[in-house]
Homo-oligomer: A and B are copies of this chain.
Amino acid sequence: MVVELVSVGTELLLGNIVNTNTQYLAEKCALLGLSMYHQVTVGDNRERLSQVLKTALDRSDVVILTGGLGPTEDDLTKEVCAEVMGSSLEEDDHTRDLITEYFKNSIYKEIPDNNWKQALVPQGAKVLENHNGTAPGLILEKDGKTAILLPGPPGELKPLFEEQVFPYLQERQPEVIRSQMIKLCGQGESQVEDKLLDLINGQSNPTIATYAKTAEVHLRITAKASNEEEAKELLKPVVKEIKNRFGNDVFTTKEEETIEMAVVRLLKKHELTVTTAESCTGGLISGRIVNVSGASEVFREGFVTYSNKAKRKRLNVNKSTLKQYGAVSKQTAKEMALGGVFATGADVCIAVTGIAGPISEGEKPVGLVYIACYLKDKVKVEEYHFKGNREKIREQSVVKALDLLRRSILSNYNT
């Protein structure tokens, strides 16, 4: 089954926003085992939208259109779809009720006239209830072709797709597709690919796709089969083999788990508390830990010690260490980690000091970063040479710091 994405909106053509919906939908369609050959973006223009839709319906089985379902005159997607697919618009009572309900709980005193337009649906269309806005999703089928219309705001599109469109498409797919995520930290994408070359080249089912993220590599292993059981059986040996090859580089096999979630999970498991002592990352590591709901169980406080004076006062870094080795040194990182534990009584401290640039410091180059982790009377310090601009260097430092924390726990507890 071939699917095509059509994004509708002049704001996309003007570059006002990044089209993240397309990536989201493309990934989900790949997960469903659907083939995709084209993605098209077109503005709020009747003639051009009509032409794009006709071409898409001609060369693809399913066309997913996003955007242009709003209440204003610019919003044309529904009207054009109905016209192209030979259907007429009629009012949907249930949608009308939902719009009334939606506005009851809003700041508006009256329902704007325009919004009633959103209760009109093409005759014969399947109406998908939208719990996060007033534009319903719509599915139109005609002569073996399907158009799926979804609202543009990601907060409306994603739940609608997840809950109603995904199962609809899955049902129409004769094959069952199952996939497994494996997330790694510690190797670059090309290194990971090199290590998997035999698996990637040797097999077409399951397939292995690599996704490079900041200091992480994600692998998606996808199997097609005639039933769920068979798909799982196909996945199992490949997933096992990959996990064996990468060992502790694997930080999670859960789709939604981030590295900070994996770290907080490990800290909870071993009943450890953590503190942070940050220089060049400036609070971004603690910021990531606090991303995790329930982080308060393992994280109570952190220090952002940007100046030398703060490193001395808060973390008791020796004046002579700073003088002899400098703020960006293995020795300072080590003392920061020790000082963090000493000041807070936490079980673990992760400390970072480095040169994020753009200006190097004396002989020390931009990108030089030291990360230290104190755990159970041991301090491990690592030296990194990151590439990229100030932001990239800091982002990589954050991920590598979280990863060092994770590895320190693993090696200490042999889990």
- Interface residues, chain A, with chain B CB atoms under 8 Å away: 12-20, 22-30, 36-43, 45, 48, 52, 209, 211, 276, 278, 280-287, 289-291, 293, 295-296, 299-307, 309-310, 314, 344, 356-359, 390-391, 394
Contacts and interface: CB of A to CB of B under 8 A. Distances in A.
Given A13-B26, A30-B14, A284-B284, A300 B290 contact: no
A197 to B, nearest CB: 14
A37 B23 contact: no
Which residue, of A23, A276, A305, has the highest number of chain B Cβ atoms within 10 A?
Answer: A23
Contacts of A280: 290
Contacts of A307: 296, 300-301
Contacts of A23: 12, 15, 17-19
Contact of A17 (B211, B290, B394): B211
Contacts of A16: 27, 209, 211
Contacts of A289: 282
Contacts of A394: 290-291
A26 B9 CA distance: 13
Contact of A36 (B13, B278, B296): B13
B15 A18 contact: no
A40 B310 CA distance: 53
A216 to B, nearest CB: 14
A283 B290 contact: yes
Nearest to A301: B310
Contacts of A282: 283, 286-287, 289-291, 295, 302
A25 B15 contact: yes
Contacts of A20: 18
Contact of A301 (B281, B285, B303): B303
Contacts of A25: 15
29 contacts: A13-B26, A14-B30, A14-B209, A15-B25, A15-B30, A18-B19, A19-B19, A37-B45, A37-B48, A38-B40, A38-B41, A40-B41, A282-B286, A282-B289, A282-B302, A283-B284, A283-B286, A283-B287, A283-B290, A283-B302, A287-B287, A291-B391, A291-B394, A293-B390, A295-B306, A300-B309, A300-B310, A302-B303, A310-B344
Contacts of A304: 276, 283, 286, 290, 301-304
B37 A39 contact: no
Nearest to A45: B37
Which residue, of A12, A299, A301, A356, has the highest number of chain B Cβ atoms within 10 A?
Answer: A301
Contacts of A13: 26, 36-39
A41 to B, nearest CB: 4
A36 B41 CA distance: 10
A249 to B, nearest CB: 20
A324 to B, nearest CB: 21
Contacts of A17: 23, 211
Contacts of A356: 290
Contacts of A27: 14-16
Contacts of A314: 301
A15 B28 contact: yes
A15 B25 CA distance: 7
Contact of A39 (B12, B310, B359): B12
B278 A283 contact: yes
B293 A283 contact: no
Given A14-B26, A290-B394, A301-B305, 9 more contacts: A13-B39, A14-B36, A40-B40, A283-B304, A293-B359, A300-B306, A300-B309, A301-B304, A304-B304
> 6 smallest A-B Cβ distances: which pairs?
A283-B283, A282-B290, A15-B27, A15-B26, A301-B310, A283-B286
Contacts of A286: 282-283, 304, 306
A27 B23 CA distance: 19
Contacts of A39: 12-13, 40-41
A29 B280 CA distance: 36
